[in-house]
Structure 1
Amino acid sequence: MATFAYGRVSTKDQTVDNQRLEIERAGFKVDYWFADEGVSGNTHASLRPQFKALLSQIRDGEILVVAKLDRLGRDAQDVNTTIKALAKRKIEVIILQLGKLDVASPSGKLMLQMLAAVAEMERDLLVERTQSGLARAKREGKVLGRPVKTTASQQAEIINLRKNGASLSSLARLYKVSRATIMRVTGEVSK
């Protein structure tokens, strides 16, 4: 019987090394390691490339270890669907954050439901706080988003040069910006 482990991080700047170390320090000898890097937590577990690969390789009755509950799904419903699918195959799921918990037992199912709901609420609160912070910054007059690559005087020059027949490509080269930037400045629409 093999032991599988799964990790996930949201951005390419992050690494799953800490999750792997946590699983190894807990005493698990992992036979197969799968990790989705740069895959948002908003992506359903069934749509994550490495998680799909894990599901196709793991056999009924084997063990799956994850560091945290939210590695198994994006919200309470997704976690529940994933756990049910694994339980049908008699795959033992160990979530280090919870200790060794029989997720197929009634008390294990209840615990997972509660924790998944709490994790979903935490994500919702984070989004709410982020939106609130962005709204406050806008009210305070802060400029949000990517910095503008051209100054107001450059934009006026670009518009004038374009009206006098300069090509998009030549303007893009001249101002070291993309053709799309020139089109935004001149108000042209891509065809």
Structure 2
Amino acid sequence: MPHRTFAYCRVSTVEQTTENQVLAIRSAGYAVPNNRVVAEQVSGSVPAMQREGFRTLIDHKLEPGDTLIVLKLDRLGRDNIDVQQTIGTLGERGINVVSLDLPVADLASSEGKLMLQMFSAFAEFERNRIRERTQEGLNRAKAQGKAQGKKLGRPAATDTTEKVLQCKAEGLSQSLTAKQLGLGIATVKRHWNKQPSTTSMVSKIWPPQDS
């Protein structure tokens, strides 16, 4: 049987679709038929092997010699250890793994594993810096509010929207945004796709600048 090519596409919310991911993969030269495209809506924080669509792909569709394509490495997951374990599992089963955002033909190869470790380390570093900058910005916002005699407490809706959208722009997930801002996940979801206010005080002090 000739080797086959599959595509795995993932989005985090119901407002998103995987159509653009499929088009990008095909535009890159991978003629993946529809019956070999696995698409699902699930958070990247969920381990790959705990996702229904991905687990079905691994256990019942992929065979040794097949190739699995993803548009970006974060489609497999956001956690460094989980991504490496997933690719390791695929490699042990003789499956080639290609991520179009990385210049390696097969992530399951020795060269691919080395590059993956390097990119994952940089990505983890950047995520930590984003969290630090976000927290620094929030601390400055609180300090400025106190200096101006503003009443502390639950922020106005426009301020909450601005802060949520800033965290989103910095690449934080909804759950991390809720943790950083001290909000409930339901509140974050309400503000996630709102339009930013041009008159909010937050916009005057955001984003935080590196010292």
| SS of 1:46 mapped into structure 2 | helix
Q: What is the distance in 1 between the residues matched to 2:122 and 2:132?
A: 15
Which entry has the higher C-alpha Rg, 1 or 2? 1
Q: What is the distance in 2 between the residues matched to 1:145 and 1:10?
A: 27
Where do 1:102-113 residues align within 5 Å? 102-113=106-117
Where do 1:98-137 residues align within 5 Å? 98-137=102-141
Q: What is the distance in 2 between the residues matched to 1:50 and 1:131?
A: 35
What is aligned with 1:162? none
What is aligned with 1:34? 38
Shift of 1:136: 4.0
Amino acid at match of 2:13: T
What is aligned with 1:82? 86
TM-score (norm 1): 0.66
Q: Match for 2:53 among 42, 50, 53? A: 50
| Identical aligned residues as a percent | 48
- 1:23-69, CA deviations, whole angstroms, 9 ceiling, x for partnerless residues? 010011113111222x2222211122221121122122211000111
What is aligned with 2:21? 19
Please, which moves more after superposition, 10-19 or 21-30? Answer: 10-19
Q: What is the distance in 2 between the residues matched to 1:47 and 1:81?
A: 13
- 1:2-31, CA deviations, whole angstroms, 9 ceiling, x for partnerless residues? 211011222222222221111010011113
Structure 2: gaps of 5 or more residues? 159-211
CA contact (8 A) 1:3 1:64 kept: yes
CA contact (8 A) 1:69 1:116 kept: no
CA contact (8 A) 2:44 2:78 kept: yes
Shift of 1:100: 4.2
| SS of 1:97 mapped into structure 2 | coil
Amino acid at match of 2:32: V
Amino acid at match of 1:79: V
TM-score (norm 2): 0.61
Question: Cα–Cα, structure 1 residues 126 and 145, in superposed 2: closer, same or farther, change >3 Å?
Answer: farther
Q: What is the distance in 2 between the residues matched to 1:4 and 1:35?
A: 11
Shift of 1:119: 2.1
